[in-house]
Amino acid sequence: MKTIFAEIITIGDEILYGQITNTNSQFISSELDKIGIKVSRQVSVSDKGNDIKNAISDAETRADVILMTGGLGPTKDDITKKTLAEYFDSGMHTDEKVMEWLHNFFTKRGRELSDLNKMQALVPDKCEVIYNDWGTAPAMWFEKFGKIFISMPGVPSEMKNLMTKKMIPKLQQYFKTPIILHKIVHTIGIGESMLAEKIADWEDNLPQNMGLAYLPNYIQVRLRLTGMGEDKEELEQKMQLQINTLLPQIEKYVFGFDDDTLEQVIADLLVEKRKTISTAESCTGGNLGHLFTKIAGSSRYYEGGIISYTNAIKIKLLGVNPATLDEFGAVSEQTVREMAEGVRKKMGTDIGLATTGVAGPDGGTNENPVGTVWIAYSDENKTIARKLTLVNDRLQNIQFASLLMLEFTRKNMN
């Protein structure tokens, strides 16, 4: 099977000036990677006709598919469409379906369809128009000597929808790409190299048509198993067998699969077990509450929290014993246990969680250097605490402690 090569061209001065991060190239690359198309180059050029043409003709010498984003707006800076018409030596005409869509789009929003906006319906004769159900600029699909040229708007939400819902299926059909499946295993609390060591034998013995990628994101590492084959069901089964062999070796680090997030996994567990939860936060300062409440529907199980940044509030609102704070300090197993128990009782929830630690940059001591965090889980049967030794960065300490608190909850919930 011949490898299909792709190049991506993002068009727009705002990228070259460093005003925005180029997330479009990453998204397109990752979508193409999933169907086995290999991206060999990403290029960003300005909104100048010649720069765009040069980039396309360069790419054409190397790649089978050239995907472009940007420069499709109605203003005079946006010249991608005109440039493509010139490049392919094509006339232009008005696409009636786009015009109708524009009429509806503007009428619905109570805005007038200006002559400038009507220009969006003008398309090159030599392209297939790919309708954009998420915005006003249609996408274009050109074919030339078996090579494909795709132009999409630069607005990320429009591009993403066009890419996943229209371009990917079309590319799969055109290039008859093989069946490619992915299975993702989400881990937390183990580094990439340690994980790689643990599963080296398994990885070495994967069949030829499967490959593994490590996708680390700080304390979380995603393992992505990719398989290629002719029969979808058979491939699916064989990959699942591999995952089943893998899991027992890393069980204690795995919290989910595929599209799961740690936050959503905890949310689903709480709903399933009909448990309510509350939080008492010192060093995480509200971020743990935020991780719960950013999930839609969280009011079903998350009742509330207390951010106790001072000892006085730990005593008054959480019922921590002043003697505990005196004897052991705010960053201690004893205090964090009383905080978790206190918030659970105060809020009347099934589960109470607590964090207290030294996020930094100041406040570190010999006994509790920056990065020392205690977390605790409490329910009607037990209260369990754990000490974390994190890093030398305030924001990372807040994020890591919050995520590890979620993971600790997952493990201890019955």
**Of 57-76, which residues contact a second copy (CB under 8 A)?**
58
| Residue of 91, 146, 248, 297 that binds a second copy (CB under 8 A) | 297
**Whole-number Å distance between alpha carbons of 301 and 278:** 9
Q: Following DSSP, what letter does each residue of 73-119 receive, concatenated?
A: SSSTT--HHHHHHHHTT--EEE-HHHHHHHHHHHHHTT----HHHHG
Both structure tokens of 111: 């805005």
* Contact pattern for a second copy over residues 168 through 207, marking x by CB under 8 A: ----------------------------------------
Residues between 117 and 146 with contacts to a second copy, criterion CB under 8 A: none
* Contact pattern for a second copy over residues 299 through 318, marking x by CB under 8 A: x--xxxxxxxxx-xx---x-
**Shortest Å, Cβ 376 to a second copy:** 18
| Residue of 26, 114, 240, 245 that binds a second copy (CB under 8 A) | 26
Q: How many CB atoms lie within 10 A of CB 34?
A: 15
**Whole-number Å distance between alpha carbons of 125 and 150:** 15
Contact region with a second copy (CB under 8 A), list: 88-96, 106-114, 265-273, 391-399? 391-399
* Residue 21 interacting with a second copy (CB under 8 A): yes
| Residue of 4, 11, 12, 15 that binds a second copy (CB under 8 A) | 15
- Side chain identity at residue 172, one-letter code: Q
| Residue of 127, 288, 325, 385 that binds a second copy (CB under 8 A) | 288
Quick check: 148 and 127 in contact, CB under 8 A?
Answer: no
Q: Which is nearer to a second copy, 215 or 241 (CB)?
A: 215
Residue 178 neighbours by CB under 8 Å, 6+ apart: 1, 36, 228, 229, 230
Both structure tokens of 14: 């705002």
Both structure tokens of 260: 């799961």
Helix (H), strand (E) at residue 25: helix 23-34
Q: Count the residues of the shown chain that bind a second copy, applying the rule CB under 8 A.
A: 71
Residues between 348 and 377 with contacts to a second copy, criterion CB under 8 A: 348, 359-363
**Shortest Å, Cβ 349 to a second copy:** 10
Q: Which is nearer to a second copy, 19 or 381 (CB)?
A: 19
**Whole-number Å distance between alpha carbons of 10 and 68:** 6
Residues between 311 and 350 with contacts to a second copy, criterion CB under 8 A: 312-313, 317, 346-348
* Residue 393 interacting with a second copy (CB under 8 A): no
**Shortest Å, Cβ 361 to a second copy:** 5
**Shortest Å, Cβ 237 to a second copy:** 26
Q: Which is nearer to a second copy, 48 or 126 (CB)?
A: 48
| Residue of 4, 11, 12, 28 that binds a second copy (CB under 8 A) | 28
Q: Which is nearer to a second copy, 19 or 205 (CB)?
A: 19
93 bridge partner residues: 123
* Contact pattern for a second copy over residues 263 through 282, marking x by CB under 8 A: ----------------x-x-
* Residue 398 interacting with a second copy (CB under 8 A): yes
Q: Which is nearer to a second copy, 124 or 368 (CB)?
A: 368
- Cα–chain-centroid distance for residue 123? 34
Q: Which is nearer to a second copy, 248 or 297 (CB)?
A: 297
Q: If we measure between CA atoms, which residue out of 195, 194, 224 comes closest to residue 210?
A: 224
Residue 395 neighbours by CB under 8 Å, 6+ apart: none
| HEC-encoded secondary structure of 361-386 | CCCCCCCCCCCEEEEEEECCCCEEEE
Q: Which is nearer to a second copy, 19 or 173 (CB)?
A: 19
Per-residue exposure over 365-388, b if at least 16 CB sit within 10 Å of its own CB, e if not: eeebebbbbbbbbbbeeebebbeb
Q: Would you say the C-alpha torsion 147, 152, 154, 155 has a positive or negative sign? A: negative
Q: Which is nearer to a second copy, 330 or 385 (CB)?
A: 330
CA distances from 318 to 115, 345, 365 (A): 64, 9, 25
* Contact pattern for a second copy over residues 206 through 245, marking x by CB under 8 A: -------x-x------------------------------
